[in-house]
Structure 1
Amino acid sequence: MIDMDADTFEALVGEVFDALPDNMVDGLVNVAIMIEDLPEDGSLDLLGLYHGVALTDRDQYGFGELPDMISIYRDPLLALAEDVNHLREQIHVTLVHEIAHFYGIDDDELHALGWA
């Protein structure tokens, strides 16, 4: 486990997100990325969560709808990380995983692609 304050963690998530390929993030329309300390159940098992309807399951997306949300959970990621480089890798994997869910890629396909 490493120790990192909330502002530094948020900046690191921003750096990792900014380094993602354009073709992965250009389609993220009306998606908020939120950093939370813990998931709702308080566990350290969940690193991130996509809240929304995958693009493959939408009929249409209209004006005035609330954004989908990707939650990144700080405490579980910090508990898992051995050092800052490992934390950066885990944030990357978590962002890719949750963004994939936005695009309709399920866990089985993520594993088959080697992304999870």
Structure 2
Amino acid sequence: MSKGPTGDEPIGRAPSLDDLAGLAEAAFAALPEEFRRMTGEVIFRVDDFPSDEVLAELGIEDPFDLTGLYQGVDLTHRSLFDPAPQPSMIFLYRRPLLDEWADHGEVTLEELVAHVLVHEIGHHFGLSDADIDAIEAAA
């Protein structure tokens, strides 16, 4: 068994898909109730990496460059007259998240997962990356 920096405590295992799902669930539960209610029906999913199809569609070559993704029709584009759309999904990608966390040691993994989750919920609400960046800068 590996030992920590002081030589006496064990080094834990890398967080699993289930561990990250638990962090995402906790982050969502910590959001204000009104915000959670406004989010509505969204499926949250944690995968190791985005699929090759997603990377190709987004023009991303390095799978480590995508930590999260919103897929679905955002709330601003839904209509009662449209047929039932595919379910809205928010994907979190474990390996890119862990890589970003390792590169930016000033945030906890919980903070990073919460940040990416809220960012993707912003897309569900119809916000662009620029909109989200402006909101974050003002906060």
TM-score by length of 2: 0.71
Residue in 1 that maps onto 2:68: 48
Computing the radius of gyration from Cα coordinates, the structure with the larger value is 2
Distance 1:75 1:46 in 2: 10
Deviations 1:13-70 (A, max 9, x none): 2111111122221122221011111012361111110001111112227685431111
* Cα RMSD for the two superposed structures: 2.2
| Bigger relative contact order, structure 1 or 2 (CA pairs below 8 A, ≥6 apart) | 1
Count of aligned pairs between the two proteins: 113
- Residue in structure 1 matching 2:87, options 58, 67, 70: 67
Q: Is this contact kept in 1: 2:73–2:85, CA < 8 A?
A: no
Report the identity percentage: 34
Q: Is this contact kept in 1: 2:41–2:88, CA < 8 A?
A: yes
Which residues of 2 match residues 97-108 of structure 1 at below 5 A? 97-108=119-130
Distance 1:76 1:55 in 2: 27
Q: CA deviation at 1:9?
A: 2.1
- Residue in structure 1 matching 2:98, options 58, 78, 93: 78
TM-score by length of 1: 0.83
Give unmatched runs, 5+ long, in structure 2: 1-12, 56-61
Distance 1:10 1:23 in 2: 22
Give unmatched runs, 5+ long, in structure 1: none
Residues 1:21 and 2:32 are matched in the alignment = yes
